[in-house]
């Protein structure tokens, strides 16, 4: 009976994984923002993202809020219980577009994309 009581006292940690693919943004800029943001909790991150109106900040705020809302709705938990476990970026596909030039030549425009991964966790008591 003592072993069963100990198992019930342990807190269970649950996680939600979110993956957003083919985001049209610079990989280097996103990486710089994420290295700065990882130090803070969710409230400070959202406040910091609201202050800057650049494309990377707006995209990151949009995807972070989307993942928070979906985890709150699916798991019936409060915002204060959620912790940002991991957030990282990987390089995605590179789309090539033709840009016609004179004398039958063409230049290629490379549009790079990235994949954003967000892992949220919370404790079940």
* Structural domain boundaries in the chain: 10-124
Reply yes or no on domain 10-124 having CATH 3.40.50.720.
no
* Cβ atoms within 10 Å, residue 61: 16
Residue range 7-54, pLDDT digits in tens: 554 567 788 889 999 999 889 989 999 998 888 888 899 998 898 889
pLDDT band at 1 (very low <50, low <70, confident <90, very high): very low
SS (H, E, C) 72-92: HHHHCCCHHHCEEEEEEEEEE
Provide the pLDDT for residue 10.
55
pLDDT band at 83 (very low <50, low <70, confident <90, very high): confident
Q: What is the pTM of this model?
A: 0.80
């Amino acid at each position: 009976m003592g072993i069963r009581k100990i198992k019930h006292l342990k807190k269970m940690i649950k996680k939600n994984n979110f993956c957003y693919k083919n985001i049209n943004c610079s990989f280097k800029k996103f990486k710089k923002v994420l290295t700065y943001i990882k130090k803070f909790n969710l409230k400070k991150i959202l406040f910091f993202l609201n202050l800057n109106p650049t494309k990377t900040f707006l995209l990151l705020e949009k995807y972070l809020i989307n993942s928070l809302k979906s985890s709150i709705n699916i798991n019936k938990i409060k915002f204060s219980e959620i912790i940002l476990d991991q957030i990282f970026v990987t390089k995605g596909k590179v789309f090539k577009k033709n840009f016609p030039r004179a004398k039958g030549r063409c230049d290629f425009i490379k549009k790079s994309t990235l994949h954003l991964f967000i892992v949220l966790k919370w404790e079940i008591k």
